Amino acid sequence: MNTRQAPLREVQAELVPVVLTRQAKPRRARGFTLLELLVVLVIIGLLAGYVGPRFFAQIGKSEVKTAMAQIDALGKALDQYRLDTGHYPSTEQGLGALWVKPSDEPRWWGPYLRKNVPKDPWGREYQYKAPGEHGDYDLFSLGKDGREGGDGEDQDITNW
């Protein structure tokens, strides 16, 4: 029985030193070099320069589309007001007549809006004139700059 165990012990004796001497040396943690950081910053800068203007241009387009949708919704409410009362609100009554009953309007069945009259996307009141120069009424926003005329985001958004 000893003869069979002796070769096993020799094999174990040979393996133990090998296992003990083959320990992995710990690697020092390395950070990024200055050059690597600069390359990353340049790439981020290029991406921001390319994507940024396109992103901000889309924001302006969405404000114009929002104003167009609100003018369309206000126009439908004005049409419903006219169906009930027989006429559009006067310029003096304004768009507020869609939300609050005018004192001199017996056939008012509103409110004609789910919420109070919204402001345009730039925080200003919509302009309303009745009778209008371009139809039964004129409903418009003066755009981002708040002045008549303009291009792009500054253009007037109208119902005509």
CA distance 45 to 13: 61
Complete domains list, the chain, with CATH: 41-158 (3.30.700.10)
Residues 6+ apart with CB under 8 A from 122: 63, 141, 143, 144, 146
pLDDT of residue 32: 84
44 token code pair: 């981020």
pLDDT of residue 150: 81
pLDDT of residue 92: 94
pLDDT of residue 95: 95
Nearest to 100 by CA among 86, 85, 115: 115
Residues 6+ apart with CB under 8 A from 40: 32
pTM of the complete model beyond 0.75: no
CA distance 15 to 64: 79
Residues 6+ apart with CB under 8 A from 72: 159
Burial (Cβ within 10 Å: 0-12, 13-18, ≥19) of residue 52: exposed
pLDDT of residue 4: 57
Q: Pick out the chain residues at pLDDT < 70.
A: 1-29, 57, 59-60
